Amino acid sequence: MTRRTILPIAALLLIGGLALFQYSRRLQEYRSDQFLMDTLISITVYGKNQELLRKAVAAAYAEMRRIAELADGFPQPGTAAWRNSDICRINDQAGKAPVHVDNDTVAMLLLAQKYTRLSNGAFDVTVGPLMELWGFGGKNPHLPSPEQISEALKLVSSEDVIVNEQDRTVFLRRTGMKLDLGAVAKGYATEKAARILVQHGIDKALIDAGGNIRVIGRNSRNSPWQIGIKDPRKSDAIVAILPLVDTSAVTSADYYRAFEEQGKRYHHILNPRTGYPATHTISTTVITKDAGLADILSTVFFVLPADKSLELAATIPGVELFLVTADRLIRHSATLPGTIEVLKGETYRYDQR
Amino acid sequence: MTRGDKYLLAGLLLLSLVSFAALYSRFSPFSGSTKVTQAVISLQGNVIRKISLPLTGRSSFTVQGLVGSSTVEVEGERVRMQEAPCAGRICVNQGWIRHPGQSIACVPGEILIRIEGTTPLDGVTR
């Protein structure tokens, strides 16, 4: 072999090496599903190193599990799960004494109180007695009597939740009060998990917490994540496609945890002011960076009338709203990206204001 | 350069081209277009069954979940949870799904039905 042939061979080896190097740098996918917080949580991450991806996802789940335990309202008294639950301990001491809690419990309650005030009580974490009365969360939800509802409503009062940030204590002033973080904890935990992924250097991820979506960066094709909004009346259809980057989309709707009694359908999102399921809207989706805020606001906007919701959404920076009203009208914030695709089909009308 | 050298060079060139092609097709997880649509059923995080969609005709089978046996039904290009042993039956009430990215979860039984495949959708908020 002459010298002249060595050169091209070296060049070929170099190309081969580069190909291998490129391959090792290619994006890999890692996906994991876990049943947590009464739902299925799926985390999909992309990166160069499987081991790092696996570690990041494990850390994210650990954090979600920790928040889930703090906020769990259902364990049996006397169990370890009950002692680990700040919510159980706070409820147990209602009308008696302040309870020392985790930083995250304080943060969740302060966030909740802020939006209780902003929405004039359309959302309230003290709906516990009402939820219990209706039996949502248990096996046999049923329609309570009007008298029972007005009794339970007396215990719905965020003003009687005393959160002491310095001492990290929470006190329910009245006996019988009960916190329910059902509209807060999942979103809050999702946001914490997203931040943990970012801390682990993840720049492409999708967390699907029972339909609460939080995305990091862009998808594996380097485009915005394409997230569908479920059609509230047709299970295998969607009503819109949202292109999302570094944000979250959370939906509250009337099609889960519902039951029928005397020919009428009742679902689990109660209006804390009336004690009955909210009826203005059948599906609301909030798009905003923080999944914790999105979770709370999706409930707020589900309970308020559509006009009021769109008006209020427009006053909160970085918050966008998509909703389907009870009379099957699709409406959304004017600021939603022009790239949103609305698929109204024959079921809905679309108000493009 | 001798004739042998030329053959050697041509051989190496071919090899490198082939390895490039191999790396970028087979090992690329995002080539996507070759991925078929399938219903993936898993129990406690482990895949127990995969069914290519669409299915000719219909088929149903039971899955032993943590709280009893559930029945999954596949018909054409859609899938649903037909029967569930729990009281809530959220999964059954969810009805049919057909689009990649959609899923049905039986939380107490820890059963998950997912539709995978090429899709414009990365997920669905619900």
Residue B19: the pLDDT is 66
B45 and A5 within 8 Å at the Cβ level: the answer is no
Instruction: Print the domain residue range for B13.
Output: 1-31
Same domain, residue pair B66 and B90: yes
The whole-angstrom separation of Cα A209 and Cα A352 is: 30
H-run or E-run covering A185: helix A185-199
Residue B13 touches chain A, beta carbons under 8 Å: yes
Residue B8 touches chain A, beta carbons under 8 Å: yes
Same domain, residue pair B45 and B14: no
The whole-angstrom separation of Cα A353 and Cα A334 is: 7
The whole-angstrom separation of Cα A208 and Cα A192 is: 13
- Among candidates A1, A28, A206 on the partner chain, residue whose Cβ is nearest the Cβ of B29: A28
Four-way CATH pick for A75-172: 3.30.300.30, 2.40.30.20, 1.10.3980.10, 2.60.120.10 = 1.10.3980.10
Q: How many domains does chain B have?
A: 2
Which residues of chain A does B9 touch, with a Cβ-Cβ cutoff of 8 Å? 5, 8-9, 12
Q: What is the ipTM of this complex?
A: 0.85
Residue B21 touches chain A, beta carbons under 8 Å: no
Which residues of chain A does B125 touch, with a Cβ-Cβ cutoff of 8 Å? 211-213, 227-230, 242, 249-251, 285
B20 and A212 within 8 Å at the Cβ level: the answer is no
Residue B44 lies in a domain: yes
* pLDDT of B69 over the 60 cut: yes
For residue A229, give the chain B residue with the closest CA.
B125
- Region(s) of chain A under CATH 3.10.520.10: 28-73+182-212, 224-353
Same domain, residue pair B61 and B11: no
Residue A238 touches chain B, beta carbons under 8 Å: yes
CATH number of the domain where residue B85 is located = 2.60.320.10
Same domain, residue pair B59 and B101: yes
Same domain, residue pair B48 and B14: no
Same domain, residue pair B74 and B19: no
Q: What is the pLDDT of residues A58-103, one digit of tens each?
A: 999 999 999 999 999 888 888 999 999 999 999 999 999 999 999 9
Residue A24: the pLDDT is 58
Residue B121 lies in a domain: no
Same domain, residue pair B16 and B50: no
CA of A145 vs chain B CAs: smallest distance (Å):
22
**Spatial CA neighbour of B109 closest among B81, B71, B68, B73:** B68
- Region(s) of chain A under CATH 1.10.3980.10: 75-172
Same domain, residue pair B66 and B8: no
Same domain, residue pair B94 and B77: yes
Residue B56 touches chain A, beta carbons under 8 Å: no
Residue B103 touches chain A, beta carbons under 8 Å: yes
Which residues of chain B does A226 touch, with a Cβ-Cβ cutoff of 8 Å? 119-122
- Among candidates A5, A225, A230 on the partner chain, residue whose Cβ is nearest the Cβ of B126: A230
Residue B3 touches chain A, beta carbons under 8 Å: no
Q: Binning pLDDT at 50, 70 and 90, where does residue B20 land?
A: low
Q: What is the pLDDT of residues B90-113, one digit of tens each?
A: 889 888 988 888 889 998 899 999
Same domain, residue pair B81 and B60: yes
- Among candidates A19, A213, A230 on the partner chain, residue whose Cβ is nearest the Cβ of B20: A19
Residue B26 lies in a domain: yes
Same domain, residue pair B19 and B44: no
A219, B101 contact by CB (below 8 A)? no
Q: Which residues of chain A have pLDDT under 50?
A: none
Residue B96 lies in a domain: yes
A5 and B9 within 8 Å at the Cβ level: the answer is yes
The CATH code for residues A224-353 is: 3.10.520.10
Residue B99 touches chain A, beta carbons under 8 Å: yes
Residue B47 lies in a domain: yes
Residue B57 lies in a domain: yes
- Among candidates A26, A39, A230 on the partner chain, residue whose Cβ is nearest the Cβ of B105: A39
The pTM of this model reads: 0.82
- CA triple A315-A336-A196, angle to 5 deg: 85
Q: What is the mean pLDDT of chain B?
A: 81
A71, A185 contact by CB (below 8 A)? yes
Which architecture characterizes domain A28-73+182-212 according to CATH?
A: Roll (3.10)
Same domain, residue pair B60 and B20: no
Residue B9 lies in a domain: yes
The whole-angstrom separation of Cα A179 and Cα A174 is: 12
